[in-house]
Structure 1
Amino acid sequence: MAQDQPLVGKATPQDNVISVASSNGSKQATEAPTPDPNLVDWDGPNDPNDPLNWPRSRKWATLLPMSLFNFLSSVSSATMAPALQAINQDLKFHSPALLVLSLSIFLLGTAFVPLFTAPLSEVLGRSMVLQSANIFYILFNTLCGAAKTPNQLIAFRFLAGLGGAGPFAIGSGINADLFRPRERGQAIAVYTLAPLIGVVAGPIAGGFLVQYTSWRWCFYVISIAGGAVQILGIPFFHETYAPVLLKKKCRKLRKSTRNGNLYTQHNRTSLLQLLQTSIARPFILLGTQPIVQVWSLYCAYLWGTLYLLIATFPDVWTNIYGESVSIGSLNYLSFFVGMGMASQVGTRLADRYYRVKSVNNGGQGTPEFRLPVLILGSILVPVGLFWYGWSARPSMHWIMPNIGAAIYGGGAVLEMLCVIGYVIDTYTKYAASAMAAIIVLRSILAAFLPIAAPVLYHHLGWGWSNTLLALIAVVIGIPAPLLLWHYGHSLRKASPYARDDL
């Protein structure tokens, strides 16, 4: 069976396989054909080699290294924000727009690579693709610190972004590989919070590094940490993609039994055909799936406004409140506080609501059960933007814009948690490809929106600029979950890629 065969019936692709291979259970009675003795599959639904059945400790030991790289990549995307003036003094950029571009070009690099790394991970395996991308990222991030001209810095930042994008979409696939829907809350929280905390931690570290050492160490420190994670994570990171693991099992059985007729459901198609199908899939999802299109648009706006705030945050504290670069960078902690509280409260709230609604629905959960918490986040985001914009003035205490930033950060985390959960639940087998499609628009807007920040804030000021951003968030963010609550099930049933049994 080709890898890209549409999902049908009442179970995941793994569940369909189990019901065929199992020797007992009600599902077996409904299967008309006799199982092919040459078909290599899991040894029943409780096979300990199936990543869904791994011990909890092994699952988390595999997930955490990927989350750390997700964290470091995001740290790298924002660490140089407080160092922009020092970089400008050293490298002599020709315009403020080019200077901001040297910060945001990293995100442009992350925009397109997931379209290829995510589907490649669904053919070659998660581990090989992820670790190759990490090495590429460490190399070019180090070269950023050695840049001698603005063009070199922009080019190396773009190439570092290409490698740094590895964990972004693959992480969603790993989450789907390891955890069943009812178990995904904490895993999604770690995967989602890691890059968001990285965006906050990066500028704090960058502020102290640029004040007490040099802007170049903003890159060197991260590369050293990335190398350490790469080396220390090798023994813990295991391959998680079931089709790749089954192919390995098949090869071993062929060798031990000398039965050349053994096969899996995923190796009847040539590698070249699988690659062509898999690489095309994110583009197909982005072009044909309304669910992916809706979340791509909203995540793009969320990510874009987040990086706009990250890029302009130092100006508030150094220009309005007269703080030093290092002390001003500590105000990024307000994002961390909001995000941390939202991840803890939001995860528990979302999981509790999901479980209660699943019980009331005969034990069957649906992606729509994640939307009420998302609606809460869609309200907090514009409130936070409005509060932050109108309180950033000398007559207001410095804690006031920090409170607004914390509210915005909390709302953004709630929404990211729910969006990723919704996408993984909807496109279980193709979760990595679906997230890759979403990351494209997200990263493009995050790369270019900060470039507009100097003009926006110069002409409208902090209050009206953030009011405009808040109004756009209301127009995009609140209707989307309401529409999917009513039409999500119909859209899944009409999709050849989504699960229609939810």
Structure 2
Amino acid sequence: MIDPEAGSANENETNHFIVDWDGPDDLNNPKNWSFYKKWAVTGLASAYTFLSPFASAMSAPAASDIAEEFHIRSPVESVLTVSIFVLAYAFGPLLFAPLSEIYGRARLLQSTNLLFLAFNLGCGFAQNKSQLFVLRFMAGLGGGAPLAIGGGVISDVWNPEERGRALSLYLLAPVLGPVVGPLAGAWIAQGSDWRWIFWGSTIIGAAVQAAGIFLLDETYAPVLLERKAARVRKEHQRMDKTGATPVFKTTYSESNNSWKHLLQVRLIRPFVFFITEPVIQLFGLYLAFTYGVMYLFLTAIPSIFQDVYGFSVGIAGLHYIPLGIGMYGGAMILSRTMDRTYATLKEKAGGVGKPEFRLPSLVPGTILLPTGILITGWTAQARTHWICPDIGLVIAGAGILICSLATQSYVIDTYAIHSASALAAVGTLRSLAGFGFPLFAPAMYKSLGYGKGNTVLFSVAVAIGCPAPWLFWRYGKTVRGWSKYASKV
């Protein structure tokens, strides 16, 4: 006899039982949680995702102070104090995202955040540039994990028809973090020791960690069902005196369930996606460009408003606000339209949802991003009133958010249960761009100026971005059909 409190199991074959949810309305299934519980989990996942991008760019306004204290003369090394953190994003999720598909989302979010907090705190005690580079890289390894794992949480708890608004909040966090971080960092750099940039962000991270320990429940269905199967198995052993040894498996159990096999298969999955999946490669390339432009702006804003307009460090830092306003506006627009567009297209398709129904939301972003890039560059070059490049930053910020949200929504819908590994693979290209763009930006602007330099970025944004939604709308299903893991709907 199986204790109904422990869960139900349906006999599949002799001595083999499949453990599943107790019907379509089982409240233990994260997709059936209450509206408020879903939003609480989404908010916590977003908070974890906000922390490391916030800390990654918070040191940008203090780069000159750090360079002076550690006798850094090379412009590339000075930028590296900021961007080496982002380089680690390319590697951390590749390890931690598949581990979240073995041990669960909550455990990995909490453990990787502890890794980030420990090394971020250490950055404040660095005594030379080598120590700072190593500590920043290690902090980035832990801090980058939520960027992939958090997307898995959203996929776990929300159905596709209601996922857009949740994704708007979740994806606003990692792009708004690098805007709020430098704003706070500018005033800390102007009024205090640069080390407080790292200590302050660690204090904020510790508060999120404390909330997560008490409030973040596990969301990953295979892990929850495996726990349920363990309870059923234990209860059966307690009550059954016949000595029979039935096998209890979940609907997600693999034929070879050894830890060695699971680690070998799942730990390499992001690498397999990165090498073999056209969806990952193509959308990863475009997302890499948008992320690279964002970090280029983050490092260029101080030089534009200090060198061109003569503002102090603190006042120049205020010009991160327009970029944030644009991102927030883009998130609010999509939060109200993405789900509605998806539902309308699904209804027209006879009730069958497809990842391609996310693509119409991408179109405005492919227009706004290059437009904002062009306005920012040429108005700064012409030394017009400072409000003009700010307007460009608002437009570019909206484009960055819309492009990021729509492309990652497409990836999540395409890979569903493997969304964390898919986002980790996409994030590799994105993070490498976020690391590399700021390194060449000073030389590019010095050689070409802000106008011609941003015209180069404008041309790339148009060439890559504008055809993307149309091509995937027409050929997306065919491309997904080549994949072993992608949705075939």
1:156 aligns with 2:144: no
* Alignment equivalent of 1:364, drawn from 352, 360, 380: 352
1:492 aligns with 2:471: no
Task: Name the SS of the counterpart of 1:392 in structure 2.
Answer: helix
* Alignment equivalent of 1:352, drawn from 340, 357, 360: 340
1:133 alignment counterpart: 112
| 8 Å Cα contact 2:10-2:17 kept in structure 1 | no
The residue identity in structure 2 corresponding to 1:492 is R
1:100 alignment counterpart: 79
- Measured against aligned partners, the alpha-carbon deviations of 1:184-239 in whole angstroms (never above 9, x if no partner) come to 01111111100111010001000000111111111110000101110122111011
The residue identity in structure 2 corresponding to 1:320 is V
- Measured against aligned partners, the alpha-carbon deviations of 1:400-449 in whole angstroms (never above 9, x if no partner) come to 00000110010111111111111111100110011000001110111011
The residue identity in structure 2 corresponding to 1:68 is A
Residue 180 of structure 1 deviates from its aligned partner by 0.7
Residue 263 of structure 1 deviates from its aligned partner by 2.5
2:269 alignment counterpart: 281
* Alignment equivalent of 1:250, drawn from 204, 229, 252: 229
| 8 Å Cα contact 2:444-2:453 kept in structure 1 | yes
Residue 347 of structure 1 deviates from its aligned partner by 2.2
Distance 2:24 2:15 in 1: 17
Residue 63 of structure 1 deviates from its aligned partner by 2.1
* Alignment equivalent of 1:301, drawn from 284, 289, 298: 289
- TM-score of the aligned structures, taking structure 2 as reference length: 0.94
Distance 1:452 1:317 in 2: 19
Change (3 A) 1:397 1:370: same
Q: State the percentage of identical aligned residues.
A: 43
Distance 1:303 1:422 in 2: 17
The gaps in structure 1 that reach 5 residues or longer are: 1-19, 24-32
Change (3 A) 1:122 1:323: same
2:201 alignment counterpart: 222
Task: Name the SS of the counterpart of 2:445 in structure 1.
Answer: helix
The gaps in structure 2 that reach 5 residues or longer are: 1-7
The residue identity in structure 1 corresponding to 2:250 is T
* Alignment equivalent of 1:144, drawn from 123, 127, 131: 123
| 8 Å Cα contact 1:247-1:267 kept in structure 2 | no
| 8 Å Cα contact 1:320-1:394 kept in structure 2 | no
1:112 alignment counterpart: 91
- TM-score of the aligned structures, taking structure 1 as reference length: 0.91
1:375 alignment counterpart: 363
1:263 aligns with 2:249: yes
Change (3 A) 1:128 1:395: closer
Distance 2:156 2:48 in 1: 18
| 8 Å Cα contact 1:40-1:263 kept in structure 2 | yes
Distance 1:36 1:478 in 2: 56
Residue 264 of structure 1 deviates from its aligned partner by 2.1
Distance 2:123 2:299 in 1: 18
1:480 alignment counterpart: 468
1:446 aligns with 2:434: yes
1:312 alignment counterpart: 300
2:189 alignment counterpart: 210
Distance 1:36 1:290 in 2: 42
Residue 166 of structure 1 deviates from its aligned partner by 1.6
Change (3 A) 1:21 1:475: farther
Consecutive aligned runs of 4 or more in structure 1 exceeding 3 Å deviation = 20-23, 33-37
Distance 1:174 1:378 in 2: 27
The residue identity in structure 1 corresponding to 2:201 is I
Matched pairs, number = 473
| 8 Å Cα contact 2:164-2:334 kept in structure 1 | no
